[in-house]
Amino acid sequence: MKRILLLCVTMLTALQLMAGEPISLKDITNGAFATKRISGVNPLKGTSEYAQISSDGRQVVKYSFKTGSSTGVIFDLADAKGEQLKSFDDYQISSDGSRLLLQTNTNRIYRRSFTANFYLYDVKTKQLKKLSKDGSEQIPTFSPDGRQIAYVHQNNIYITDGESVKQVTTDGEFNKVINGLPDWVNEEEFGFNNALAWSADSKTLSWIRYDESEVKSYTLQFYKGSHPAYDMFDIYPGDYSYKYPKAGEANSKVSAWSYNLSDGAVRKYDLPLAADGYIPRIKSTFDANRIILYTMNRHQDELNLYAANPLTGTCKLLIKESVPKYVKEEAMEGISIMKDYILVPSDRDGYMHLYLYNKDGKLLRQIDKGNYDVTEIYGYDEKTGNTYFQAAARKPMQREIYVADKSGKLTCLSARAGWNVASFSGDYKYFLNTWSDSNHPYVFA
């Protein structure tokens, strides 16, 4: 009730401030009345700094978690040679920091999927060039050594080093076969948009293939609209048909594959999977001969993690997660694959808690216990054994930030009761806390 009253008071105040001025739909949709927040905080791995795009969309700037002050500029369009851009929408940094990918002209498809024109920037030479001549790429993904980028274009996978381009798959076709990208139902049900995984030595690339040729289609009508306006639909609407499996109908047939950059060999993984099963994730590891493949049954009450060898296609079961109802998508998303450990969220005892396994799938210990749910996982520090997470431990309508040490001792890191959300530095020494409650807007500290 307090939140509703606060919202009403806020709206009335806005109306009073705008006395005589009508409120338009555009004002609402473009964020004129939205709460101001700190966004785009990208923690830099192993440091106490984070990166953020400048307000004019022309720089990537470093900031200190400790002071909040700028510590340098990672990238500046004014210094780039070659291609000229006015601004960019997003960016990626290679693991060695030698290259950046800049995302422009982003076009949304579904909730998480999009195409964009990407540009590759070399930090040493300051050269900026198109990732490919065709543009409209999806999910460009740096190899661990930073020398290669895999991406998807029109449902096929390509690999480039910035100069030459190698086409890995050729069977991709709209509404038939998708390589390296989830189809609509997998993207929506399992909350991801990237089905590519590099090996740790950057010598193999693995992906999930979706054969949706037997999935039934659903058709939507397109109208002219505005922002942007589609003039071709001014008088008559157009149609958009896509593969949409309704409940009980056939889903895509999924399989996992690998490609060897050395000899061009393509291999299918020997993955145990029912005909109507899912492969809801594919993950890289720190071992060159291992990636992790997740499988799930159609009922979604059993999740399996397999160690898969990209050179042989063999798969070994590591962890089987089985719950009475269904495995939650947020629990699956929260699984962390580390160098020596695997952290798994599970509500197997009735509450969502964290369980630590070694890399071979042996359960080592339960991280936390109690009559509450862990609601977000921030990370596990392999150096100290500390686990950082958010939980609703005190009241279901609150969120606190916690650290659990390797002996199981739990410490609350958030000072005020209410709703706390954290963004931790890459070295876990600092975090940005976003706090609010029913009587206060967002406070950042």
What is the structure's pLDDT at 352?
96
Residue 23: pLDDT band with limits 50, 70, 90? confident
Q: What would the mean pLDDT of 179-203 be, rounded to a whole number? A: 97
In a domain, 4, yes or no: yes
Percentage, residues of the chain above pLDDT 90: 85
Find the range with the poorest average confidence among 31-45, 263-277, 311-325, 348-362: 31-45
In a domain, 22, yes or no: yes
What is the structure's pLDDT at 20?
59
Sheet holding 440-444, edge to edge: 419-424, 431-437, 440-444
Positive or negative: CA dihedral 244, 246, 250, 252: positive
| Of the candidates 274, 282, 283, the residue with the CA atom closest to the CA atom of residue 301 | 274
In a domain, 5, yes or no: yes
Q: What would the mean pLDDT of 296-301 be, rounded to a whole number? A: 94
Residue 417: pLDDT band with limits 50, 70, 90? very high
8 A C-beta contact, residue 258 and residue 313: yes
In a domain, 389, yes or no: no
Residue 150 phi, psi (nearest 5): -95, 140
| Of the candidates 406, 402, 405, the residue with the CA atom closest to the CA atom of residue 420 | 402
What is the structure's pLDDT at 11?
45
What is the structure's pLDDT at 19?
54
Question: Which class for 399: exposed (0-12), middle (13-18), buried (19 or more C-beta within 10 A)?
Answer: buried
pTM comes to 0.91
In a domain, 165, yes or no: no
pLDDT reading at 194 higher than 50: yes
Cα distances (angstroms) measured from residue 287 to each of 46, 164, 199, 200, 401: 20, 27, 7, 6, 32
Give the count of beta carbons closer than 10 Å to the beta carbon of residue 237.
14
Residue 33: pLDDT band with limits 50, 70, 90? confident
> Encoding tokens for residue 162?
């910035």
pLDDT reading at 293 higher than 90: yes
Find the range with the poorest average confidence among 28-42, 221-235, 321-335: 28-42
Exposure of 256 in the CB half-sphere (CA atoms within 13 A): 32
* pLDDT tens-place string over residues 352-407: 999 999 999 999 999 999 999 999 999 999 999 999 999 999 999 999 999 999 99
In a domain, 6, yes or no: yes
8 A C-beta contact, residue 49 and residue 65: yes
Q: In the beta sheet, which residues pair with residue 241?
A: 219
What is the structure's pLDDT at 13?
43
Q: What angle do CA 16, 21, 25 make, to 5 degrees?
A: 105
| Structural domains counted in the chain | 1
In a domain, 189, yes or no: no
What is the structure's pLDDT at 325?
87
* pLDDT tens-place string over residues 313-330: 999 999 999 988 899 988
3-class SS of residue 11:
helix
What is the structure's pLDDT at 3?
35
Residue 36: pLDDT band with limits 50, 70, 90? confident
In a domain, 239, yes or no: no
Domain that holds residue 19: 1-34
Residue 17 phi, psi (nearest 5): -65, -30
Q: What angle do CA 180, 186, 188 make, to 5 degrees?
A: 120
Q: What would the mean pLDDT of 180-187 be, rounded to a whole number? A: 96
